[in-house]
Structure 1
């Protein structure tokens, strides 16, 4: 049974159709088509101007995905891969007016996203394991305007083209003195925009974050200690940026965490 809310229909029919096929060697391939839905939304961030009292149309995305889940070398190597295509209609987002800071809830009528991702785990031995992941992403607004500007052809916000992460779990020793293990990690992402106007000044360039931890646990499991660090190269980067230059003379930025390190101690009683 349908209903009406402030002039926008909330009627929706969503679902998923999928096919899984298990190969003779135990590996799995799959394909699916699904549709997601987000109801009409009222702007709860209306603080500065009556124009902020806006309503967004319902959002809908149709997803097409294919992939495989595989294991090799006597299950020592696990590889999962997937490819996807998203057809977005009326994607909802908040637009901030750089002159007044007014926040309006808008729709992007049509956009598309496609890409792929892979996850790899290699158990080289009982003491050494490698974990890695990679994502490829291509986004494009196919139809839409923001603040009177045609944004067709622009990239969607918060959508780096390439992401990558890797972690190593290495047990140095495990015996009467307890267990000592090393866990270095790195995470990389390519450049991205934080808004759909794709303002060059607000673009975040690519960066990598290096971290890790060294763990020790007593032989009886009662005591443990960890030395950890994040962003060890002290990379300066932004997690979000908002254009307020025209009205306020500055950009509103959120900055990522700087270099952090510490020690954690634990005991079980």
Structure 2
């Protein structure tokens, strides 16, 4: 299986929610990615032994320009450009096996090796005089590289208690390659690559299909033990201040549970419900305190780092997430159908990774949204018409937030939206 994708992206972001130029970012990105996968697998579904082997290769080429405009903020360079190219190659080989050792017991195993090679090429930072357009300060940081070679895999067992109930346990090791943060490069230390992330996962689950397939209930519990977890944290770059950048937390963990249900009480009605709980904390992590560093600058006028030991701190994850729907479909005029749906989703309060331990405006409040749609369809004629409403209660909420220098801004969720659409298939 081969694939090729090219992206040409241009994005202007006002990162301080201000009409003045205190932190406007223009990003220009051209990227192309080629990938190739070859896979072989056994085909007999009734065999006790099943195997799958394969190889995957991808190559990416990227050219980026970041323009950062802080021309209305005193004490900083008005306009900065950071440009670079990034090359990446990834080569992965994997084997997956399963063996039905007993009529109801199947053992599962997999192993993979991945080599990820990333290079930052010709990183150049330049400041500009807005009156003349001339470059006033040019720094060439040259090239940087990050190479990751890691093994991943899993072992587990699946047991079919009866035709309607199945359970499994799984132990896995995974990883995520390291990389770079390169926007607004002013110091060579900014180009130091962050480390690869490693995780050990422990998971147990059961899946059921009951009452002649009218009720499906699944549940799972998990524990993730991280080494060098990658976080969008905080770095200090005078004279711009505190900026976002990826950092590693040496030790951390997340645990939780998931539940989903689908019921068909009678013909035409479908009820679904999903439940998720998670909680995470840092066992070993020391990092720049974004709020304290900003407060110190406000009182002294000097940017200097304030670090905090976050051992034992909660990650601030949204502990509870819920979603559900009730959908009813009925026939009309023999060849037509009408479908009515009401659904909801809930997300608990969460703190952004850059503001560990902070509350107030740094903790996004919980939100509850209700949506609905009504569809009139002609299945035999392959068309349908729908009217729909999203966030019907018109809740004001926000999804994420962050600090840019001494400003804090949030990404708001969508307000009430009502629309209609027509769908035709052929």
Query: TM-score normalised to the size of structure 2?
Result: 0.58
CA contact under 8 A between 1:8 and 1:58: conserved in structure 2?
A: no
Select the structure with the greater relative contact order (CA < 8 A; seq sep ≥ 6). Answer: 1
- Following superposition, the deviation at residue 8 of structure 1 comes to 7.1
Secondary structure of 2:162 counterpart:
coil
- In structure 2, distance between residues paired with 1:205 and 1:135: 17
CA contact under 8 A between 1:145 and 1:152: conserved in structure 2?
A: yes
Q: State the match for 1:229 in structure 2.
A: 389
Secondary structure of 2:356 counterpart:
coil
Q: 1:124-203 maps to which residues of 2 (within 5 A)?
A: 124-147=265-288, 148-156=307-315, 159-176=317-334, 178-195=336-353, 196-200=355-359, 201-203=361-363
CA contact under 8 A between 2:234 and 2:246: conserved in structure 1?
A: no
CA contact under 8 A between 1:242 and 1:253: conserved in structure 2?
A: yes
- In structure 1, distance between residues paired with 2:382 and 2:203: 46
2:223 to 56, 62, 85: 85
Judged with a 3 Å threshold, the aligned counterparts in structure 2 of structure 1 residues 220 and 10 are, in CA distance, closer, same or farther, namely: closer
Secondary structure of 1:52 counterpart:
helix
Query: Structure 1: 5+ residue runs without aligned partners?
Result: none
Q: Deviations over 1:198-220 (max 9, x none)?
A: 32121011111110211101363
Q: If each structure's strand is expressed as a fraction of its own residues, which one has the higher value?
A: 2
Secondary structure of 1:220 counterpart:
helix
Q: 1:1-269 maps to which residues of 2 (within 5 A)?
A: 10-43=148-181, 45-50=182-187, 51-97=189-235, 100-147=241-288, 148-156=307-315, 159-176=317-334, 178-195=336-353, 196-200=355-359, 201-218=361-378, 220-244=380-404, 247-248=405-406, 250-268=407-425
Specify the structure having the higher radius of gyration (Cα): 2
Q: Deviations over 1:203-262 (max 9, x none)?
A: 011111110211101363343110111111111111111123xx43x2122111111110
- In structure 1, distance between residues paired with 2:117 and 2:421: 54
- Following superposition, the deviation at residue 18 of structure 1 comes to 1.2
Secondary structure of 1:42 counterpart:
coil
CA contact under 8 A between 1:52 and 1:103: conserved in structure 2?
A: no
- Following superposition, the deviation at residue 144 of structure 1 comes to 0.3
Judged with a 3 Å threshold, the aligned counterparts in structure 2 of structure 1 residues 85 and 228 are, in CA distance, closer, same or farther, namely: same
Q: Deviations over 1:143-181 (max 9, x none)?
A: 101111112222325x21111100111014444362111
Query: Structure 2: 5+ residue runs without aligned partners?
Result: 1-112, 119-143, 289-306
RMSD: 2.4
CA contact under 8 A between 1:52 and 1:105: conserved in structure 2?
A: no
Stretches (4+) displaced over 4 A: 1-9
Moved more, 79-88 or 95-104: 95-104
Secondary structure of 2:364 counterpart:
coil
